[in-house]
Chains A and B, each alone.
Chain A
């Protein structure tokens, strides 16, 4: 398989104005430079599903914006399908799809179906091709009942399904998903993850998904890239990450007196089931939460081992 995305020492710095009080700030503004992405290099092969993980402010969205041709880098190079994104916007546009979890590409007041129609026109699809494609995506993402509703009336989970369909109408080979599960409840997150994976497998779409939720990468991707403060700190398979860093589960139980008991289980030595059985025997449990280690813990662990 060929490399569909190539990133070489990509760097993005932002110049921000410092807010100085009084006239000094007006006549002699001071600036500080913030490095969002710092000499980032990686390659992605066709059909790979890659999670781009990191805490808030790690540079995930900035990298996606550069690769999807929204931003110009300060230095370094990148190629997406053999094209330099920021120099070949129009040509690249037909090959990539983007979903930004905190932005909508649907028209707020229009019924979802009309928004899809406009997107079809943007990409110059003819009516027959558009209808065939939409019909397939509507079935795959189970949104038939939503088509007649205006975007403003959709729940966040419903809207996100429609956003992903909107980004796939023109049959892109690469899909950039920036925090697609942000703000969603557990059920909606699960639905989105399953649908995204199903679509990617069915059409061999290359996925680059950013998130700070480790569950997103476990459920959808086969490879993970972790960045922190703009730098790459881990690039390997999900399996390798699980083996090395996701071998702990954080369990929190609440007993009938309302007290919360927290425990960390090393899944290499103790199966989660065994740990839960022990807790059930010991306490009158009213609630249980089992979570992966938070992103910050994983990053700390990576640095510690380095």
Chain B
């Protein structure tokens, strides 16, 4: 564990872009943790007249029913981080188990998993996600489960490919020769080598999970009781924010999504570079 941590820090400080990504994520995490301190109001409370322009009291103005937009934005970081981390995490557990089983056991299990992955990759995901979200009803956890359901196939494919190459390595053969059981080889000898790659993919998957949640919220299929950045944008659009001259109402939440996504992408690529050294920036 200690060496993993040291390795992670080492990776981070040698890669400027990765460090930038880490800083962005740290800033947003602080915002989420310190939301009670940073935000001056309860985001659900009506604290001023509707459509107030930005002022000292309301840095970004108020929305169509008089809630403080800056407080909404600050608390929204919690939702985005929650969606961005849980959805790919669930997908990775599912995908890793299937990928391990498929790559190690082979045979019928492999055929089935590969077939399922092929079907998943050919599915038009957004229309189906939209259909599922519309039928299952608007709840944040439903959306996370849907995202996880559409995200596992990528993990399964990556893990399977890794397992196929690892299982032929001499050390795995040696483990088998001394009588290690199948599950033991899979989890003790193969899984640890795949984990860095899985981590890179979780971090990279966060961006698309956040974007999809925002898109669904914008289409009116998100959870209206949770104030995510996507929900703020939907409200802004429905409340004709731009006609009211409140362009910050639209601009800031979108920028938040883009910056958070950039942070995740930068960090994910830094990890990926570490795992796959050929991608490393070579300074000529």
- Same complex for A and B? Answer no
